[in-house]
């Protein structure tokens, strides 16, 4: 199965490396862009199986930008290929059902494996997206010392807030309506006696609310292009 790939990165070195890596596979890079604004037109005009992009391109948030596009083009898979391994980015990517998140310091074979896995519709072993999905959907029992009486759902919402997910991303992650998320967020802020999401995240850090820790073993310190 030959896949058609679109790469978006404002680093010429990165796009050149991706082209070289993909040239050794049956797949083909049909377009490269240094900005996100051309992606929607590209997807309309050219059938594309995979979009590979940095977390931020030209100052724009790729995860936010691609969220609605994934709904319009459900057969197109999104792979985040990034120098920034912040767990928040991985959690956000998993919430919008990105295919995979590959750190750029990983061997390039990790990226190739993520692409190849699309044919099998099963994410590769050690998938960071799978790790994030499992963490976000799991119920993390609050510590006994936690005196704030949150419901099970409110505690799940707080875990998401602590990772910096937006209401829309929380809605997608937990498969609940946006209005329900807004209601839960307001209840959480009220019970914590905090004024905003940032304050809630700080409260979580100080009170031992679990956060996402990624297993990125088998990855060297330098990117291999």
pTM: 0.90
Q: Which residues contact 2 (CB under 8 A, 6 or more apart)?
A: 26, 27, 28
Q: Are residues 146 and 113 in the same domain?
A: no
- pLDDT (tens digit per residue) in 146-187: 778 899 999 999 999 999 999 999 999 999 999 999 999 999
Band of residue 75 on the pLDDT scale cut at 50, 70, 90: very high
Query: How does pLDDT run across 100-117, given as a tens digit for each residue?
Result: 999 999 999 999 999 999
Would 221 be classed as within a structural domain?
no
Element (DSSP H or E) covering residue 219: none
Task: Return the pLDDT at 138.
Answer: 87
CATH number of domain containing 9: 3.40.50.2300
Statement: residue 89 has pLDDT above 90: yes
CA angle 153, 158, 160 (to 5 degrees): 100
At 144 the pLDDT is: 67
Alpha helices in 73-219 (DSSP H): 87-95, 108-120, 128-137, 152-162, 167-174, 178-192, 197-206
216 domain residue, yes or no: no
Mean pLDDT of the residues in the chain: 90
In a domain? residue 214: no
92 lies in which domain range?
A: 4-129
Stretch 183-211: mean pLDDT:
93
The count of domains in the chain is: 2
Looking at the fold, whether 116 and 142 belong to one and the same domain comes out as no
Both tokens of 222, joined, read 């330098």
């Amino acid at each position: 199965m030959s896949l058609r790939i679109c790469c978006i990165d404002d680093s010429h070195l990165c796009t050149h490396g991706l082209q070289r890596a993909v040239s050794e596979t049956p797949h083909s890079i049909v377009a490269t862009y240094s900005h996100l604004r051309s992606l929607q037109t590209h997807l309309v005009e050219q059938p594309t199986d995979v979009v590979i992009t940095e977390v931020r391109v030209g100052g724009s948030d790729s995860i936010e930008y691609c969220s609605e596009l994934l709904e319009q083009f459900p057969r197109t898979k999104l792979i985040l290929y990034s120098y920034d391994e912040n767990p928040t980015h991985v959690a956000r990517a998993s919430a919008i059902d990105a295919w995979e998140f590959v750190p750029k310091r990983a061997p390039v074979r990790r990226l190739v494996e993520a692409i190849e896995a699309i044919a099998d519709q099963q994410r590769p072993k050690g998938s960071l997206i799978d790790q994030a999905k499992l963490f976000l959907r799991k119920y993390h029992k609050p510590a006994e010392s936690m005196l704030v009486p949150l419901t099970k759902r409110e505690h799940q919402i707080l875990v998401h807030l602590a990772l910096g997910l937006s209401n829309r991303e929380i809605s997608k992650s937990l498969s609940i309506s946006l209005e329900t998320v807004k209601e839960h967020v307001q209840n959480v802020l009220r019970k914590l006696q905090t004024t905003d999401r940032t304050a809630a995240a700080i409260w979580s850090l100080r009170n031992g609310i679990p956060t996402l820790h990624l297993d990125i073993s088998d990855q060297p310190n330098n990117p291999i292009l």
